[in-house]
Amino acid sequence: MTIVFNKDICHDPSKATEKEWLETNGIGGYASSTIIGTNTRRYHGLLMAATKPPLGRTLLLSKLEEFLYIDGKEYPLSTNIYPNAIYPEGYKNLVQFSLNPFPTFEYSVNGIDIKKIVFMVHGENTTVILYQVNYRGERPFSPALKVRVMVAFRDYHWLTHINRAFKTDYKILANGGICLQPYEGFTPMYLFHNAEAMDNASFWYKNMEYPKENERGLESHEDHFSPCSLHFDLNKGNDCHIVASTNEYNKLDVYELLEKETALREKEDRGRKLETSDAKLQPPISMLVQACSLNQNVLVQSARLNQQKLPSLGGRELEGGGDKLLRLCETLLSVSSSFIVKRENDKKSIIAGYHWFGDWGRDTMISLPGLTLVQGRFEDAREILLSFAQYISKGMIPNRFPDYGETPEYNTVDASLWYIQSVYQYLRFAKDLNTVRKDLYGVLQEIIEYYQKGTRYNIHMDSDGLIYAGVAGVQLTWMDAKVGDWVVTPRVGKAVEINALWYNALKIMSFLAREIDLSNESRDYNNLAQKTSKSFNDTFWFDEGQYLYDYIDGDVRSSAIRPNQVFAVSLPYSMLLKERQRNVVEIVKEHLLTPYGLRSLSPRDKDYIGRYCGNVYERDRAYHQGTVWAWLIGSYISAYAKAYAGNKDALKYIKGLFVPFYEHLFDAGLGTVSEIFDGDPAHTPRGCISQAWSVAELLRAYFEHVYGFEND
């Protein structure tokens, strides 16, 4: 789907700077800015190189300052924000921005049209900026394009300021390019171009302002060093290009790179094209429908059961057939590749979100079905599962890999249980029992064993079969915000979603053991699951409210209405009878459901915070106290589908839940889905502009409960 903005948006900086594009390279690096080229956050730049894929992100090329000269008169194409000023005002000459497949800027000045295309080379820290020039009417006298280079050379979390340690000299290469390496031992940047002349006057641009950092209560001003400017003579009728890379090219063909990248994306898009006719189902989709036969709890297998009347759809019916829904899913399928990256060991992983997250264990396992399995990318899924299996330690997979150093962090209670769920989903879709038996089953056994006898952070199974986890000062569940030593939502004890995942894991283990002819083990896992189920229903059900406690710690029963209880319904194996499933779904719908996902806390709770804004302390305090999380919509849809399986209005209601996300594609991170939204209307998008599990869970839910439903 092409995303286009014309002059009405491009000429309004207040609107245009809210719309951000992202171009990725498959190893964790990226280029990103706004549709008018104004950097509004420290994470924007034209070459954010992943120096230790997929991490070690370093901002090398910040931006380009561009001016068109016609008959000696200067016309700006670029735009920057400084304190109380916008300069230059190139946005006034921008007539269109589009995204299909690359960020494309179209300028028009006095009969000269310039199309600027920005793209990255897959698998490399290389960004290409290509200027294509056309004339309407006669060519003016001495038209020229002058582009000044602006660099930062810093970690992507930091900011650059004028400093004596920054070496301002550079080397001229034999092929006319230049090499910059301001700090000893720092990754150098090579700059290649086809300019006729280079002005080697160098200086600093001071005090550029980043409004998004100001909103986040962080330092919001940066200095950029400019080593030179490049002068292109437009009389010659050639396209102009600048290439920034960590590779020292001996020979460079920009058009070959463009053709290669275009072909790669067209191939991916063709492989993902959705069809509305059953006869035209693509292989990955038909595989999905077949795969559902493994799980009797999936909606498509039980769609003919209960005919109970559903509540109101709340005005979210899908208008005009399913066109918007198909366009939404095709767009999300297209962006899904941006999250799948290769690590330095050449093994694949999943980036949790752009601009600032790395590959997190929990996010990877939750995202894996939607980003790989529903698309038939079984080898990618297998590689990711095997890669994380190498890092298993005391029954735990890593929560994250640090930016520097390869020592993984093990500080999550749910990631390993999500790993078991991902292995099960892999078997459902790929039908690869051999890999599960040979390479993965032993890893799953280790997880169960350590969770039973105990592992880090007091994670252990109590005598009632339920999992207890937590120590003071450590956040172990996905509600993991921490400010200094203050854990905002500690949830120490027996958390509802952890025990839902635990029961689900035991049932999966029973199923897998049976499939690989370990009948005694299968029976033991199933017996423990039944014990867990009884304890869960006896302990977690809040009879007065007709929903589930959020966590239990001794005599403490948290009755806060949070979305965590939805997993007790949505996971393949549920401990709840149908009536309780519906009660949970309805309480979540009443208190937590928004157009963009589920709130993390009911607005009626005294601790509810409706807006995610302010400084680090204020934002972390709100992170799980009312903020909306888009990824939770997938579990809500699965829970709803299960609780109301077979109702004739179920599919219509579920389709309606996707509609707001189509409109969101044009709002913040273009063509993708944000991490979080404000709990209060108008539910402003916040956090990362492109989040893996937000995209993945929408795709999983669509293919399991809409596409699969219709073709069952």
Mean pLDDT across 8-25: 98
Query: Rounded to an integer, what distance in angstroms lies between the CA atom of residue 30 and that of residue 22?
Result: 7
pLDDT of residue 540: 98
Query: Rounded to an integer, what distance in angstroms lies between the CA atom of residue 110 and that of residue 454?
Result: 73
pLDDT of residue 279: 30
Mean pLDDT across 394-421: 87
Give the other-Cβ count within 10 Å of 166's Cβ: 17
User: Two tokens at 23?
Assistant: 């171009």
Local confidence band at 138 (pLDDT 50, 70, 90 cut-offs): confident
Query: Rounded to an integer, what distance in angstroms lies between the CA atom of residue 548 and that of residue 586?
Result: 12
Output 31 or 326, whichever has higher pLDDT: 31
Dump pLDDT digits (tens) for 434-471: 999 999 999 999 999 999 999 999 999 999 999 999 99
User: Two tokens at 633?
Assistant: 């919509």
Sign of CA dihedral 665, 425, 532, 487: negative
* Statement: residue 406 has pLDDT above 80: no
Residue 115's DSSP bridge partners are 106, 132
- The per-residue DSSP string of 617-657 comes to HHHHHHTTTT-EETTHHHHHHHHHHHHTTT-TTHHHHHHHH
pLDDT of residue 338: 96
Mean pLDDT across 74-85: 98
Question: Which amino acid appears at position 265 of this protein?
Answer: R
Dump pLDDT digits (tens) for 481-507: 888 888 899 999 999 999 999 999 999
Number of H helices, E strands in the chain: 20, 39
Query: Rounded to an integer, what distance in angstroms lies between the CA atom of residue 301 and that of residue 36?
Result: 49
Mean pLDDT across 204-220: 96
Q: What is the mean pLDDT of the chain?
A: 91
Instruction: Indicate the length of the chain as a whole number.
Output: 712
pLDDT of residue 23: 98
Q: Could you tell me the domains of the chain?
A: 3-265 (2.70.98), 305-710 (1.50.10.10)
Query: Rounded to an integer, what distance in angstroms lies between the CA atom of residue 11 and that of residue 7?
Result: 5
Measured between its terminal Cα atoms, the distance across the chain in Å is 27
Mean pLDDT across 585-592: 98
* Statement: residue 297 has pLDDT above 90: no
